[in-house]
Copies of this chain bind each other. A is one copy, B any other.
Amino acid sequence: MYESITVPTLVVDSAKVRINASRMLDRAARNNAVLRPHLKTHQARQIGRIFRELGVTSGTVSSLTMAEYFADDGWNDLTVAFPVNLRELDAINALAGRICLGLLVDNPDSARALAAGLKNPVDLWIKIDTGSHRCGLSPEEPDKVEALLAEVAGYPLIRTAGLLTHDSRTYAARGREAISALYHEGATAMLDLRSKLGRRGFAGLKVSIGDTPSASLVEDWLGVDEARPGNFAYYDLQQVGTGACQPESVAVAVACPVVGIYPERSEAVVYGGAVHLSKQSQPAMAEYLPDGPPDTSFGTVFRMEGEHWDGFLPGAWVRGVTQEHGMVRMQANDLSRLKVGDLLFICPVHSCLAAHALREDTHFIGL
C-alpha cells in the first residue's frame, strides 16, 4: 500500500474525513445553521469534493490564492476569512466577477479603499473580536461597529453580510465544559451585538462563528447563522489535546521514512522535520505517554493496523525537529522492531500547517 512513498508524505484517510464531516453537518443541521467549512485545513480539491457530495455549498478560505484554487474546482460561494488585503484588489475584482465572494473588514480605511477599487459586488463581513485579540472590533464598542456599518452601507458594490468572529481561545482550553463556557460567552456577545445593531436600524445581519473545538463539543450553537470550523475534517494532536476528538478520529498522518535508530537514547530519526510537520509544538500528553518524562511534542506516533492508523503508540513522541529531521522518542520494544527504511506514521500537532507544507506530497486512501 505504502511502497510508493519515498519522502515525507501526508496520508489522508478519506473514510475518516467523511465521518468527521457528516457528524459536523448533522450538528449544523440540528442547529439550523449553515456549515461553511474552512478549506485551509486541507487545501485539497479532493476533500472539497467530499464536502460537496455531502451537501456543502459554501466554503471559507484564508487567502485569495486559496479562493482561486477552489473556485477553479467549482466552488461558487467563498468567504476569505482574513482582513481584506488592499494590495490584492485586482485578484479580488477578478474573483468577485465569477463567484460570490465574501470579505472581512474591521476599519473604515480598509472599507473606503476597498470600495474605491471594487469593480464587482462582494459580500462584506464586519470582523468582531470576541477574545482572540488578533483582528476585529470589540463587541463592547457597538458605536464603532455601527459607524463601520454606516460607512459600508453607502457603497453600491458592497453587500453587508453580517458579523463574523473566530474565537481562538478555545484552542488553548481543555474539555467540553471549559470550551462550552467560552463558546457561550463569545456567541452571546455576538448575538447581543446583533440585537443592539438591529435596534439601531441595521436589520438582517448574520452571525458567523468559527472554531473547531466549540463546533465539535458544543451541542447547542445558540442560534448563530453560520459556522466555519475547518480543522474537524482532519483533526490533529492539538484537537486531541482540547478534547475535541479522540485519536481514532484523526484523519491524517505524515508518513516519514526511518533513517536512523539509536537504542542508546531510545530514539529513531525520521526524514520528516520542520518543513513537513512544522515547528508547532505542545506539551507531550501524559495520558498517551505513560512512561515519558515531561517534554515538548512535535507529534505523536500512530499505531498501525494494516494500512490504517488506530490511536497512538504509547510512550512515543517527536521530541524535536530540525529542517528535515524528526527525532522520535520510542519505547525499547517498539524501537527494536523498527528498521531503517520503514515508515513511521506521525500525528502532526497542527494538521493545517502539515497539510499546507505537504500539499504537493499528499496521498489519499479510500477515495
Query: What residues make up the interface of A, taking CB atoms closer than 8 Å to B?
Result: 5-7, 40, 62-65, 82-88, 90-91, 106-107, 109-110, 113, 133-135, 168, 257, 259-261, 265, 269, 271, 274-275, 278-280, 322-325, 327, 339-341, 343, 352-353, 356-357
Q: Is the CB of A322 within 8 A of B134?
A: yes
Which of B84, B85, B271, B357 contacts A85, CB < 8 Å?
Answer: B271
Q: Is the CB of B323 within 8 A of A352?
A: yes
A269 to B84, CA, bound (A): 12
14 CB contacts below 8 A, A to B, read A6-B91, A82-B271, A85-B257, A86-B341, A87-B341, A106-B260, A107-B260, A107-B340, A109-B340, A134-B322, A134-B325, A135-B259, A135-B269, A274-B278
Q: Is the CB of A63 within 8 A of B324?
A: yes
State the Cβ distance, A349 to closest chain B Cβ, in Å: 9
State the Cβ distance, A167 to closest chain B Cβ, in Å: 13
Q: Is the CB of A82 within 8 A of B340?
A: no
User: Chain B residues near A84 (CB, 8 Å)?
Assistant: 259
Q: Chain B CB within 10 Å — which of A133, A274, A278, A324 has the most?
A: A324
Q: Is the CB of B87 within 8 A of A5?
A: yes
A84 to B106, CA, bound (A): 51
User: Chain B residues near A110 (CB, 8 Å)?
Assistant: 259-260, 340
Q: Is the CB of A88 within 8 A of B6?
A: yes
Q: Is the CB of A135 within 8 A of B6?
A: no
**5 smallest beta-carbon distances between A and B, as pairs:** A86-B341, A279-B279, A83-B259, A6-B87, A87-B257
A7 to B85, CA, bound (A): 8
User: Chain B residues near A271 (CB, 8 Å)?
Assistant: 63, 82, 85
Q: Is the CB of A63 within 8 A of B7?
A: yes
Q: Is the CB of A353 within 8 A of B323?
A: yes
Q: Is the CB of B88 within 8 A of A269?
A: no
State the Cβ distance, A83 to closest chain B Cβ, in Å: 4
Q: Chain B CB within 10 Å — which of A83, A133, A280 has the most?
A: A83
Nearest residue in B to A41 (C-beta to C-beta)? B323
Q: Chain B CB within 10 Å — which of A87, A88, A275, A279 has the most?
A: A87
A62 to B261, CA, bound (A): 19
State the Cβ distance, A324 to closest chain B Cβ, in Å: 5
Nearest residue in B to A64 (C-beta to C-beta)? B7
Q: Is the CB of A6 within 8 A of B85?
A: yes
Q: Chain B CB within 10 Å — which of A62, A113, A259, A339 has the most?
A: A259
User: Chain B residues near A352 (CB, 8 Å)?
Assistant: 323
User: Chain B residues near A265 (CB, 8 Å)?
Assistant: 133
A274 to B65, CA, bound (A): 16
User: Chain B residues near A62 (CB, 8 Å)?
Assistant: 323-324
Q: Is the CB of A322 within 8 A of B6?
A: no
User: Chain B residues near A279 (CB, 8 Å)?
Assistant: 278-280, 353
> In the complex where A135-B269, A271-B85 touch, is A356 in contact with B323 (Cβ < 8 A)?
yes
State the Cβ distance, A281 to closest chain B Cβ, in Å: 8
State the Cβ distance, A351 to closest chain B Cβ, in Å: 11
A323 to B354, CA, bound (A): 11
Q: Is the CB of B113 within 8 A of A340?
A: yes
User: Chain B residues near A168 (CB, 8 Å)?
Assistant: 322
User: Chain B residues near A257 (CB, 8 Å)?
Assistant: 85-87
State the Cβ distance, A107 to closest chain B Cβ, in Å: 7
Nearest residue in B to A133 (C-beta to C-beta)? B265
User: Chain B residues near A64 (CB, 8 Å)?
Assistant: 7
Known contacts A6-B91, A86-B259, A109-B340, then 6 further A-B pairs from the complex at CB < 8 Å, ordered by chain A residue: A7-B63, A62-B323, A87-B257, A109-B339, A110-B260, A133-B265
